[in-house]
Amino acid sequence: MTDETPETKLTLSKRRWAEEGKFLTGRITRAETDRLPPGQHLVKNWPVLDLGQQPLISLAEWTLQIVGAVENPVKLDWNAFHQLPQSGKLSDIHCVTTWSRYDNRWQGVSTHDLLDLVMPRPQASFVMLTSYDGYTTNLPLTDFASEDGILATAWEGEPLTRDHGGPMRLVIPHLYFWKSAKWLRRIEFLVGDQAGFWERNGYHMLGDPWREQRYSDD
């Protein structure tokens, strides 16, 4: 998603939500036993949200490029990506549009194993994620490196479908799900933070569900 991409109904709606502070409850604390963040409701299905584009990427053409402040920049094709250690993760997911889904089973490459491969330099503090549709979003490196972080290629034992970000997407379950970029093609390690697409359009730079960081403080 680029700034030149035509507006969609969802894009316009979410910009308006940011301006209005829609869905905010004002509850910003979390008890240790809480599992559902404030303002969220549970679903059993997995809603599909995108910006009007679902890129079709063949496995023969797919690549993941890792660049920036790393000792070992790489460009992986599908076979090379699957030569990396494979992991399984179980996590809940929370969308800024107020739905949450418990107990999602993922398979793929953990962000820890990817970090071992590329070796971020000491000054690296953030990552910028870029998707095949041009969408971007930012993350602190500490969040990218979370224990549950995974570059997922499968969900519930089946290959990740195109509408949910297949063939590969990032999953960072402790942040709102717009931070878990679909159709991921590039990870850039940065010294300083930069805003991604939604962060430039009224959404929070971090996106912690338990602190209801839906929208920018500005």
Contact between 40 and 99 (Cβ < 8 Å): yes
- CA atoms of 90 and 16, how far apart (whole Å): 33
Alpha helices (runs of H) in the chain, residue ranges in sequence order: 9-20, 78-83, 111-118, 141-144
The CATH code of the domain that includes 202 is 3.90.420.10
Question: Does the residue 177 lie in any domain?
Answer: yes
Residue 105: phi and psi, rounded to 5, are -100, 120
* pLDDT the model gives residue 17: 52
| Res 34: pLDDT | 83
The whole-angstrom separation of Cα 112 and Cα 117 is: 9
d(CA 57, CA 62): 6
Tokens 């700034």 -> residue: 3
pLDDT tens for the chain, residues 1 to 218: 444 445 655 555 555 555 555 555 665 555 555 899 999 999 999 988 766 678 999 999 999 999 999 999 999 999 999 999 999 999 999 999 999 999 999 999 999 999 999 999 999 999 999 999 999 999 999 999 999 999 999 999 999 999 999 999 999 999 999 999 999 999 999 999 999 999 999 999 999 999 999 998 75
Cβ density class 131-147: b for 16+ within 10 Å, e for less: bbbbbbbbbebebbbbe
User: Which range marks the domain in which residue 139 is found?
Assistant: 37-47+59-211
Classified as helix, coil or strand, 9 is: helix
Residue-level pLDDT at 48: 84
* 43, HSE (Cβ side, Cα atoms, 13 Å): 12
In a domain, 164, yes or no: yes
Inside any domain, residue 17 = no
Q: Is residue 7 part of a domain?
A: no
What's the total number of domains in the chain?
Answer: 1
Q: Which pLDDT score is estimated for 206?
A: 97
pLDDT at 3: 46
Asked if residue 115 belongs to a domain, the reply is yes
* Tokens describing residue 181: 């970029």
